[in-house]
Amino acid sequence: MFVDKAPITVIAGNGGNGAVAFHREKYISAGGPDGGDGGRGGDIILVADSNMSTLMDFRYKRKYVAGNGADGSGKKCSGKDGESLVLKVPRGTLVIDKETGKLIKDMADGEPFVVARGGNGGWGNSHFATPTRQAPRFAKPGLPGQRREIILELKLIADVGLVGFPNVGKSTLLSVVSKAHPKIANYHFTTLYPNLGVVYAAEGKSFVMADIPGIIEGASEGAGLGHDFLRHIERCRLIVHIVDVSGSEGRDPIEDFEKINEELSRYSPELASRPQIVAANKCDILQDKTLLDKLKSYAEAKGYRFFAISAAAHIGVHDLVMAIADELSRLPPVHVFAPDYVEPEAVPESIDDLTITVVDGNVYVIEGAWMERLLGSINFSDFESRMFFDRTLRNSGLFDRLENMGIQEGDTVSIYNLEFEYKK
């Protein structure tokens, strides 16, 4: 199954907590704090794989989590870093931020990309020793890893895109000039997903050709399959427009040619301006030669190079391939989309961000990231650590804020899973 779009969630690993430990060794008294730091959380890394051509691997599994960093330990031993998770995606996959719709990264090159970074490990208590606080019984918790909701969207990387109405011979041409084996049959919409093939034109000259299926009138608005696959032509440096001139279906080649170009223009004006080569196919079963002559005159008058071919009978195919290679030699490289996503600035955790809710008239529930971070560094079984907690809350202005809200002595203060009786 061909899958070219997949929303996923990536969660980097959390950093490990710092350790609270003290050096203990025979004949050494008061060894001092020696708690080690926590390990760093693992990253989520994307790597482009040229051997992949679909996002099928992401169709059913939507959540990817890297390893957490290990906690620190005594003897100033740091915790082990969390294991990073490497996700392989097809070359040409766009990484899009789900919330904003902005492009984070175009995986067109072979460079690994860190899409979610792991959190740093917390400091052990050895970092907090001072001349006046020689035995700190608290450490810092690790920071959480980055979490992202992203959309993976594949835009195939091909030099040449074959476009045209269904059943005009695009798949046949691809099978003749490359080793690709697309499904070929004499009915519309035989091809249900794009096919890629490598074409060897001459010694040292090769290019990638893509057969783009299902483009019909109204494709840019969702008709047929073209709306789903038009995106795969966007990178193509050159468009080869295949037109059936046999008259076997009673169609007007010029009208077909204009309708497809109109759909390309509606989808993307930039795409419609790409260089084109017109290939009049099925010349071996031509019923009315005037159809071929009219299309040739029409295409050449618009400045397009024109070739009369029969993909099935291998007529004129070699000349077409050499013309494509010659045209590509003068065109710029495959288009790479520039990211437009701007990483939001990290907002420092602040006491002002705390929410205080009054429940039952005398219970004050306090929540917020600043408070969570503070609680993680407090050892409530240690008197000095509890005093540090009290001083921090008092100096932060939290007590003044509570009193302005009307708290009375004896009321309950609830902070996550802890409850305190308020005393002035």
Taken in order of first residue, the domains within the chain and their CATH numbers are 1-154 (2.70.210.12), 160-328 (3.40.50.300), 351-421 (3.30.300.350)
pLDDT of residue 192: 63
Handedness of CA 100, 105, 107, 108 (dihedral sign): positive
| Positive or negative torsion for Cα 256, 270, 219, 4 | positive
* Contact call for residues 287 and 239 (beta carbons, < 8 A): no
Helix residue ranges per DSSP H, 230-310: 253-267, 269-272, 289-301
To the nearest 10°, report the CA torsion of 360, 363, 364, 369: -100
Hey, how many other C-beta atoms are within 10 angstroms of the C-beta on 131?
A: 5
State how far the Cα of 255 lies from the Cα of 78, in Å rounded to an integer: 72
pLDDT computed for residue 190 by the predictor: 54
Residues of the chain with pLDDT under 70: 1-2, 182-192, 214-228, 346-349
Strand partners for 87 = 46
User: Residue 271: what pLDDT?
Assistant: 82
CA distance 280 to 308: 5
Q: Look-up: residue for tokens 């969660």?
A: 11
What is the pLDDT, as a whole number, of residue 86? 97
Query: Other C-beta atoms within 10 Å of 158: how many?
Result: 25
pLDDT of residue 265: 87
Q: What is the pLDDT of residue 230?
A: 77
Look up tokens 């540090």; give the residue. 388
| Nearest residue to 115 via CA among 39, 14, 10 | 10
Task: Annotate 90-137 with DSSP letters as a single string.
Answer: ETTEEEEETTT--EEEEETSS--EEEEPPPPPPPPGGGG--SS-SS--
Query: Can you give the pLDDT at residue 117?
Result: 95
> pTM for this one?
0.77
Token pair, residue 163, equals 């476009």
Contact 79, 73 (CB under 8 A): yes
3-state helix, strand, coil in the chain (%, to 5): 25, 25, 50
Please report the pLDDT score of residue 424 as a whole number: 72
- Spatial separation of the C-alpha atoms in residues 422 and 100, rounded to whole Å: 44
Judge whether 166 and 219 are in contact, CB under 8 Å: no
pLDDT of residue 52: 85
